Chain A
Amino acid sequence: MSKPTRSKKQATADLGPYGHVGKAVSELDERLGFAKAGRTFFDKVFPDHWSFMLGEIALYSFIVLLATGVFLTLYYVPSTGMTIYHGGYRPLQGQVVSEAYNSTVNLSFAVRGGLMMRQMHHWACDIFVGAIVIHMARVFFTGAFRKPRELNWTIGLLMLILAILEGFVGYSLPDDLISGTGIRIAYSITLSVPLVGSYLASFLFGGPFPGNAVIPRFYTIHVLIVPAILVGLVTAHMVLLVRQKHTQFKGEGRTEKNVVGTPMYPIFMAKTTGFLFMIAGVIALLGAFFQINPVWQFGQYVPYNISYAVQPDWYMGWLDGALRIMPSWEFAGFGHTIPFEVFLPAAVFPGLIFGICFLWPSIERWYTKDNLAHNLLDRPRDRPKRTAAGAAMLGLLGMLFIASSTDVLANFFHVSLNQVLVLMRILVVLAPIVSYALTYLICIELQHLPQGGKRKVANVVTLTESGEYVATPAPRPPSAVAHEELAPEPVPRYIEPEVQGSPTHRPDEGDGERPAASVRTVPR
């Protein structure tokens, strides 16, 4: 070996066993002091269960929303000032439209990649809210909201409410006919609040509807206020998750006092980063191939125009359905009017639903008198009343969601709208009751199943010489044997450095010789 190489090697050895990276880390640690906490974070164990990915879907679609949203702000003009459309979309040529609508159509057709970005943003939003709801259902049905995690349940709920608000405000921004009608309804709902409704509405909209304030104000809410709060809440959600550690399902070696799974670095990090890319990829494909909210077909919002089959985005459906099936119970008297037919379904009812959700951990603690901290999750069947209550809630909201398309249903099944409406009124009352009863019975039934949920072993039926049929359990297939889990062990504090040139995964191979530079020295 020549001399320069040798001295270079010597220099590398001086850096210590972890080379330049190790040197950089100790330099940084002397200033920031992160190595100890960083190592603890690297070792944080994540349970392996598919249902823990639902929250990740929400988080990653939120990241896609932020990225695509920033792109959209570069082209969108939040103004109701009127202009004449001169873009490339022929049917709109020469029409008087607002700057907001004009810029939305232009960023879809005239900006390269704009249509894809806009559609990705809209799809990501629908997925975002959906993932939150399903994640919340998982947390509910498995009892993950119990002590000590009530606060994180509350934060999650706040994020759901903000996400719905953010979605509504966001799809209102293009100032198209359908979303404008949505704003009109929102104005009427504000107006319906007893005592202060007309003042609230006038303040929020900067005067009588429609006015010119609503689009710029919605823009500020959509790109600044709500996202800032959401980012803060997401951070708090994650900090609490790390501080309180994950819950886990019951299983071998899993107790209230530990977490079993795979460590943050590099295993979980690789899987979750891969998942981020998968979700972004799926959203990109949706944005490319599945049209969503084609505002150029709806036309500019004009207060006196309306289109047929006006449905909001899916997460507003339950409120729209509630408005539709509400009987016309307006109170009028003493010189005042209380529009209960709007105020009850659109203001009181969602308040009630979210109120129940906010209070549920307290309600359950009060009902069960259980004040212990829980880190092991319930199987839904083992808590039949809670599971049934959750099913009742989903039944109610699901039926209201269906009720938001009474007109489409009537057309599709060729029945009268009145019949559909009456039927939906009955079903909305029946659905929670029936869901509760059915779910309760199914839970009790499942509890009595022997070995419920375990993989069944096939039986081999053989005919003996005496003509008797005998069933014997089949031998387990090799793949089932190979997947048998080892007993969980702590994340090793140190891994002996690998031997140069020898393959990594050979359990029975000897240690071999270790290069001097990579010998572990003294632990810090």
Chain B
Amino acid sequence: MTDAHDESRTPVSLSTAKWSDPHLQPKAEHPEGVERVILLTFFLGFLGFVGFGVAYWQNWKPWTYGATLGAGMLFIGVGLAAWGKYLMPQGPFVEERHEIGATAEEVDAFNNALIERGGGQFKRRKMLGGMLAAGLGVFGVVAAFPLIRSMGPLPGDSLDVTDWKAGAYLVDRQGRRLLAQEFAVGTVISSVFPEGFQDNEKAQTRDVVIVIHAAASPFGTGSRSSWTPQGFVAYSKMCTHAGCPVGLYERAQNLLVCPCHQSMFNVLDQATPEFGPAPRPLPQLPLYIDAAGYLRAQAGFDQPTGPGFWERTT
């Protein structure tokens, strides 16, 4: 046994209590009854955990795992909380707060050490401090290179150009060329790529167009009417708002709708945004139909596809 009479230890107040103190009494009016109820919940919790073991061992349906485990934990938890709430000393007890801050002298002593003992060193050796700061500053800057610069390539023109070239065949997901006569008016070919790029993931984001046989004959004003042979029209499928695929076609209103933020584009009018947050029309791919009847691109897009960014020229 240690020396219990050690005087160097701080003596403590002798506030003692007997178990008969009302503050140590349980809250419950009938503790025996509560005890029985808690015993029952603990037993049910016990059964729940046993059930979980059995369910897992026997490989029952997945829901039985959660049901048994959940029931076990819920019953144990309710019982334990009830034990604490109804059977343990109800109090209330009070605890005095100590002053958080130190005394003025203690704060002063800290400040003295901080400013005079430590800070004084820097004041006295300005050259050393300056050189150290310069070294650490350079470290801070150069550390950004491996941490940030190496994370990816410079964007370059990756946001500006697509793989569409003059004469490119339009193909579907399987790489089949689109024969104009196979698509009746009203047909939508939802994901179309330049031939050779249908399996390229980056091209799938940048190049993808949605082709709609929107009318029986070419439409559109001015030179655009030559972009819609036999009423076929192709727009970039990337929303100009946040880049979601504009995948919903409202045939009755001739609107393309973006399911993400509900921008709507008028199919018959150069995909002008009719409503919603999209700021620009979907870029249109000029089409033509060659002698064999295949849909092909007259040229690439005349602007970057997808959402806006700083370097995008207007």
Contacts and interface: CB of A to CB of B under 8 A. Distances in A.
B259 A309 contact: yes
A266 B152 contact: no
A280 B281 CA distance: 50
B243 interface: yes
A269 B83 CA distance: 11
Interface in B279-314: 279-280, 306-314
Interface residues of A, number: 136
A181 B275 CA distance: 21
B205 A281 contact: no
B181 interface: no
Contacts of A193: 310
B277 A493 contact: no
Contacts of B6: 524
B17 interface: yes
Interface size class of B (residues with CB under 8 A): 35 or more
Contact of B155 (A199, A260, A511): A199
Interface stretch (A182-190, A431-439, A454-462, A463-471): A182-190
Interface in B1-40: 1-2, 4-6, 9, 11-26, 29, 31
A496 B17 CA distance: 6
Contacts of B307: 188, 191-192, 339, 342
A328 interface: yes
A261 interface: yes
A355 to B, nearest CB: 23
A14 B1 contact: yes
Contact of B77 (A112, A276, A325, A339): A276
A235 interface: no
A194 B310 CA distance: 5
B242 interface: yes
A281 B71 contact: yes
Given A303-B205, A336-B311, A421 B275 contact: yes
A268 interface: yes
13 contacts: A113-B65, A191-B159, A258-B95, A262-B89, A262-B91, A278-B81, A303-B204, A303-B205, A305-B245, A339-B308, A418-B275, A486-B22, A505-B26
Given A192-B309, A307-B259, A417-B264, 12 more contacts: A16-B1, A30-B2, A197-B309, A202-B152, A206-B153, A260-B91, A330-B280, A335-B314, A490-B15, A491-B93, A492-B15, A495-B19
Q: Nearest 7 pairs between A and B by C-beta?
A: A288-B66, A277-B77, A274-B81, A270-B84, A281-B74, A274-B80, A330-B279
Interface of A: 14, 16, 26, 30, 43-45, 48, 112-113, 115-116, 119-120, 148, 181, 184-185, 187-189, 191-199, 201-211, 213, 243-245, 253, 256-263, 266-271, 273-289, 302-310, 320, 323-330, 332-333, 335-339, 341-342, 373, 375, 406-407, 417-418, 421, 482, 485-486, 488-496, 498, 504-509, 511, 520-524
